[in-house]
Structure 1
Amino acid sequence: MTELLALEKITAGYGDSVVLEDVSLSMDEGDSLALLGRNGVGKTTLLVTLMGLTRLHGGAIRWRGDSLARVATHRRAQAGLGWVPQERYMFPSLTVEEHLTVVARPGPWNLKRIYELFPRLEERRANMGNQLSGGEQQMLAIARALMTNPQLLLLDEPMEGLAPIIVQELVRVIRRLISEEGLAVIVVEQHARLALSMTKHAIVLDRGRIVHQGSSTSLLDDRATLDRLVAVA
């Protein structure tokens, strides 16, 4: 497999404040990673560091072998990083369909395929972004990222605050993206067992450092270790 992303001894944070220390990982094309840990350990910071929104104090980030250190956020998106932030960022002045078409880039994902993946969005295509339920907004946030035709999808707490039936729908979608579409995905998720059930590999952060790295299946099967690392009840 071709290496897609590599982090080498990354130290990063906000201004002079350091959040991530000595973080190294790599992903191949089509790989999937569960990024786990308690609240405040640096999971979201790792995603926004990939998007160029933190201060990089040290280390290297490579995308398909090229450095991302000095690449602007919009250029990273154009290069193939798709980000679904926890806040979702719906635009009240845009319809569902406008949210999708305004960011569209050439590739396999288009309106027809998005509406097949999320039939509810087609039903709501004329609604404004702020007229959607929380679950529908999350669907739209994921769909909008897909319309940029990314090679790596970054999902920050995609299940947070959603009804169980919506969670089931999103899990189905994420599993399809990984197993059928071959899209590389990083999932930050408080529901650790759910994230592990969808991914191939897992990393656990604590105080900005990697304290566990291995297969998702192995960690899912090792309840004692999982409970100790992420305080799963």
Structure 2
Amino acid sequence: MSEMLAFDQVVAGYGSAVVLHGLSFSLAQGQSLAVLGRNGVGKTTLLETLMGNTRVMRGAVRWCGEDLGRWPSYRRVRAGLGWVPQEREVFPSLTVEENLTVVARPGPWHLRRVYEFFPRLRERRGNYGNQLSGGEQQMLSIGRALMTNPKLLLLDEPMEGLAPIIVEELARSIRRLCESEGLPSIVVEQHPVLALEMTHQAIVLERGTVVHAGSSAALAGNARLLEGFLGVGAAEAHIHNNTGASNDSNDLDDRLA
């Protein structure tokens, strides 16, 4: 597979503060990536750097073979980066439909298709952004990113603060985007086993650099690494692997019924 994205010895941060210390990894075309690590290790900064919101002091970020360099954020969106920020950042004074259409760009994702993907958004299309639940706002934030017709979806803590049943529903949607819809993603997530179930590859960060890289399946099955890098106990991993989000969507449908 050809390379879609690469960080090459990237040193980046905010002002004079360095957060990423020589960060290097690559992502192949068609693959999805889990970015894992404890709090404060640079996971969100990785995404912010990809979107042009940090100061890059050294190294290069390549997107489809091009050095992003000093590209402004809007050019990165036009190039195919779809951003779902941790704070969701829906427009509170716009309706659901206005939130979606205001960012629309030509491509396979359009209003009807987003409504088919997230039926709740169709039901609430006339509601304002500040009238939605947390889960609905997250669906709207993802739907808005899809309306830009991205080549890669960037998800920063998409499950934060949501009820378990909504977490499972969103996890199924993200897996469907990658596996059925052919849209790769980078997922920063505090629920590591859940993130591993949604992705092909995984990296673990410590102090702004990669300390582990490999397949998501291999990391999910390695209790020693999960405990050592992420503090995930064997019992938690076992629960996720046996009762968490499944590759068979019918299992989740049964639990949501």
Query: Normalization by structure 2: what TM-score?
Result: 0.89
User: By how many angstroms is 1:2 displaced?
Assistant: 2.9
Q: 1:3 maps to what in 2?
A: 3
Whether contact under 8 Å (1:152, 1:183) holds in the other structure is yes
Greater RCO, CA 8 A, separation 6+: 1
User: By how many angstroms is 1:64 displaced?
Assistant: 1.1
Q: 1:181 maps to what in 2?
A: 181
User: By how many angstroms is 1:224 displaced?
Assistant: 1.1
Q: Does 1:196 align with 2:206?
A: no
User: By how many angstroms is 1:182 displaced?
Assistant: 1.2
Whether contact under 8 Å (2:24, 2:209) holds in the other structure is no
Whether contact under 8 Å (2:7, 2:24) holds in the other structure is yes
- The whole-number CA distance in structure 2 between the counterparts of 1:108 and 1:7 is 28
- The whole-number CA distance in structure 2 between the counterparts of 1:152 and 1:72 is 17
Q: Secondary structure at the match of 2:26?
A: strand
Q: 1:8-65: per-residue Cα shift (whole Å, max 9, x none)?
A: 0011000111000111111122210000000000000000000000000100011111
Amino acid across the alignment from 2:159:
M
- The whole-number CA distance in structure 2 between the counterparts of 1:26 and 1:225 is 21
Q: 1:89 maps to what in 2?
A: 89
Amino acid across the alignment from 1:197:
E
Q: 1:210 maps to what in 2?
A: 210
Q: Secondary structure at the match of 1:190?
A: coil
- The whole-number CA distance in structure 2 between the counterparts of 1:187 and 1:92 is 25
Amino acid across the alignment from 1:3:
E
User: By how many angstroms is 1:165 displaced?
Assistant: 1.1
Q: 1:166-208: per-residue Cα shift (whole Å, max 9, x none)?
A: 1111011101111011111000001000000111100000111
Amino acid across the alignment from 1:176:
R
Query: Within 5 A, what are the aligned runs for 1:60-75?
Result: 60-75=60-75
User: By how many angstroms is 1:78 displaced?
Assistant: 0.7
Structure 1 outlier segments of 4+, above 4 Å:
none
User: By how many angstroms is 1:110 displaced?
Assistant: 0.6
Q: Secondary structure at the match of 2:154?
A: strand
Q: Secondary structure at the match of 1:7?
A: strand
Q: 1:219 maps to what in 2?
A: 219
- The whole-number CA distance in structure 2 between the counterparts of 1:170 and 1:29 is 23
Whether contact under 8 Å (1:61, 1:68) holds in the other structure is yes
Q: 1:29 maps to what in 2?
A: 29
Q: Secondary structure at the match of 2:186?
A: strand
State how many pairs are aligned. 233
User: By how many angstroms is 1:232 displaced?
Assistant: 1.3
Gap regions ≥5 residues in structure 1 = none
Q: 1:140 maps to what in 2?
A: 140
- The whole-number CA distance in structure 2 between the counterparts of 1:170 and 1:123 is 17
User: By how many angstroms is 1:231 displaced?
Assistant: 1.0
Query: Within 5 A, what are the aligned runs for 1:148-163?
Result: 148-163=148-163
Whether contact under 8 Å (1:82, 1:152) holds in the other structure is yes
Amino acid across the alignment from 1:162:
L
Amino acid across the alignment from 1:100:
L
Percent identity between the two aligned chains:
67
Q: Secondary structure at the match of 1:142?
A: helix
Q: Does 1:100 align with 2:100?
A: yes
- The whole-number CA distance in structure 2 between the counterparts of 1:227 and 1:140 is 34
- The whole-number CA distance in structure 1 between the counterparts of 2:29 and 2:144 is 21
- The whole-number CA distance in structure 2 between the counterparts of 1:181 and 1:102 is 23
Whether contact under 8 Å (2:219, 2:225) holds in the other structure is yes
Amino acid across the alignment from 1:34:
A
Query: Normalization by structure 1: what TM-score?
Result: 0.98
- The whole-number CA distance in structure 1 between the counterparts of 2:42 and 2:105 is 31
CA RMSD of aligned residues (A): 0.8
Q: 2:113 maps to what in 1?
A: 113
Amino acid across the alignment from 2:167:
V
